[in-house]
């Protein structure tokens, strides 16, 4: 029984072994996987939602769904990507049930923003002004370090669309951050 393992033992164990234990129904092992991955998944969802509370709700759903379906995971090495896909799917499901956002090119212009907002605008706020699919591609590329091909496979968007979203989205993001006087991006 692995539940009695001390925290040090869990921390030292490699992830593939822990995933294998979790696949075989060890809840303590899955708990350790959650501890290791929760920060990345919550950050990913925060970039996508710009709402910490919603991001945490979606992260909870992701981990519960992961726990229920981990037995179906074929390759233990694919755990991180599999979990990320679950998170993205939960976000997409949520986003589809929300009102459609502004299309690229028609997003909020800088001059329309209030002075208070313009000073406080951060990366998440700028991201929130990108259309859903563009934001997804940008976040997966810049925050998760995924290649265009990997994003195309994960989102089921054509590779050309992913490339175009990233090129145009990056330009728009830079423009938004510049125009809002972000000191970090010049």
Partner 1 sequence: MTTVTRMSDEMDEELLARFARAHERLPDAEFMQSLLAGMQRARRLRSWRRIVMVVVVGILAAWIMPSVLESTAAVVRSVAEHAPSYDALIISPGGWAVSMLIGFGVLLRAGALRRG
Smallest CA-to-CA distance from 73 within 154, 13, 19 is with 19
Nearest residue (CB) to partner 1, 88 versus 141? 141
Q: CA quadruple 37, 158, 124, 98: dihedral positive or negative?
A: negative
Nearest residue (CB) to partner 1, 64 versus 108? 64
The least CB distance from residue 142 to partner 1, in Å, is 4
The least CB distance from residue 68 to partner 1, in Å, is 6
Nearest residue (CB) to partner 1, 100 versus 154? 154
The least CB distance from residue 24 to partner 1, in Å, is 12
The least CB distance from residue 123 to partner 1, in Å, is 5
Nearest residue (CB) to partner 1, 63 versus 82? 63
The least CB distance from residue 98 to partner 1, in Å, is 22
Residue 55 tokens read as 């991001």
Q: CA quadruple 129, 130, 136, 139: dihedral positive or negative?
A: negative
Nearest residue (CB) to partner 1, 104 versus 166? 166
Residue showing tokens 């970090």 = 184
Number of helices (H), then strands (E), belonging to the chain: the values are 10, 0
Q: Which residues contact 47 (CB under 8 A, 6 or more apart)?
A: 123, 124, 127, 139, 143
Residues binding partner 1 (CB under 8 A): 27, 31, 34-35, 38-40, 42-44, 46-47, 56, 59-60, 63-64, 67-68, 122-124, 139, 141-145, 147-149, 163, 166, 170, 173-174, 177, 182, 184-186
Smallest CA-to-CA distance from 136 within 99, 107, 95 is with 95
The least CB distance from residue 99 to partner 1, in Å, is 25
Contact call for residues 77 and 23 (beta carbons, < 8 A) = no
Contact call for residues 79 and 29 (beta carbons, < 8 A) = no
Nearest residue (CB) to partner 1, 46 versus 99? 46
């Amino acid at each position: 029984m692995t539940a009695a393992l001390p925290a040090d033992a869990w921390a030292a164990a490699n992830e593939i072994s822990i995933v294998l234990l979790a696949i075989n129904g060890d809840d303590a092992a899955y708990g350790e996987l959650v501890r290791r991955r929760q920060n990345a998944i919550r950050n990913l969802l925060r970039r996508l939602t710009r709402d910490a509370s919603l991001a945490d709700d979606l992260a909870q759903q992701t981990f519960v769904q992961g726990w229920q379906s981990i037995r179906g995971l074929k390759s233990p090495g694919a755990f991180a990507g599999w979990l990320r896909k679950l998170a993205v799917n939960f976000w997409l499901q949520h986003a589809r049930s929300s009102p459609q956002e502004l299309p690229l090119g028609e997003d909020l212009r800088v001059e329309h923003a209030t002075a208070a907002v313009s000073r406080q605008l951060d990366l998440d706020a700028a991201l929130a002004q990108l259309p859903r699919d563009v934001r997804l591609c940008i976040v997966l590329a810049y925050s998760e370090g995924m290649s265009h091909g990997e994003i195309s496979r994960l989102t089921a968007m054509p590779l050309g669309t992913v490339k175009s979203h990233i090129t145009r989205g990056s330009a728009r993001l830079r423009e938004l951050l510049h125009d809002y006087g972000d000191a970090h991006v010049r």
